[in-house]
Amino acid sequence: MNEIQRAKTILKILNKTYPTIKVPLKSRNVFTLLISVLLSAQCTDINVNNVTKNIYPKYHRPEHFVRLGRKKIERLIKKIGIFRVKAKSIYNLSKILINEHGGKVPKTFEELEKLPGVGHKTASVVMSQGFGFPAFAIDTHIHRLAQRWGLTNGKSVVQTEKDLKRLFPKKNWNKLHLQIIYYGREYCKARDCYGLTCKICTTCYPNRKKSVKTLKA
């Protein structure tokens, strides 16, 4: 089975396993989606949702966070990892959105990635889930699974993104990003499957005997 055949097999399994998919991070608008994705770095989606459920009913626009100030933002998100760094990013990007974008989240990768605390992965999630633009956000989990499934050589997340975009139709990218994340959490876990037990691994590599070692992002 070559990589194109594997990609088709994987897509078929994922569509059957997750015919419909929900965005795991709760948000009220594109701005709060941006904030939630920023907060999710080195933090679980569940923890982010537990924190933001008490924030977004009252604070959901850049103006709200600028008025709050850094220290108050810190207190609101203190249960989240590296909360001081994230509070600084939230405060500064809120000011930039007001001063340079009329209080709106920009709709291009270039402008998003100029914002404090926003990297390519965060921008990809906002572009795909917030604006519906075809994007393939690659985090460490997808990077690991793509190697395990023989879709990339794993040299970097940049290479993994290029490989997955080459192998899968553009119309599937946004949904596929979430499907892979959910499948990895449920069936192809880092310390459970090792490339030997889940349906995707056993279907794509029926003769595989040794666990797969993956490269870090």
Q: What is the pLDDT of residues 36-58, one digit of tens each?
A: 999 998 899 999 999 999 999 99
Given the residues 12, 121, 170, 216, the one annotated as active site: 121
Q: What are phi and psi of 134, to 5 degrees?
A: -60, 120
Q: What is the pLDDT, as a whole number, of residue 214?
A: 87
Give the chain's mean pLDDT: 95
Q: Are residues 146 and 104 in the same domain?
A: no
Evaluate whether residue 102 is within a structural domain. yes
Evaluate whether residue 212 is within a structural domain. no
Q: Is 58 a catalytic residue?
A: no
CB-based contact 201:148 (threshold 8 Å): yes
The CATH number covering residue 50 comes to 1.10.340.30
Q: Are residues 154 and 191 in the same domain?
A: yes
Q: Are residues 148 and 176 in the same domain?
A: yes
Q: Are residues 121 and 100 in the same domain?
A: yes
Kindly state the tokens that stand for 2. Answer: 């070559």
Q: Are residues 55 and 126 in the same domain?
A: yes
Q: Is 192 a catalytic residue?
A: no
Evaluate whether residue 215 is within a structural domain. no
pLDDT digits (tens, 9 = 90+) for 4-31: 999 999 999 999 999 999 999 999 999 9
Residue 10 domain boundaries:
3-21+136-204
**Separation CA 70–CA 85 (nearest Å):** 10
pLDDT band at 144; cut points 50, 70, 90: very high
Q: Are residues 35 and 124 in the same domain?
A: yes
pLDDT above 80 for 195: yes
Given the residues 139, 162, 189, 199, the one annotated as active site: 139
Instruction: Say what the pTM is.
Output: 0.91
pLDDT digits (tens, 9 = 90+) for 155-178: 899 999 999 999 999 999 999 999
Q: What is the pLDDT, as a whole number, of residue 154?
A: 82
Q: Are residues 161 and 69 in the same domain?
A: no
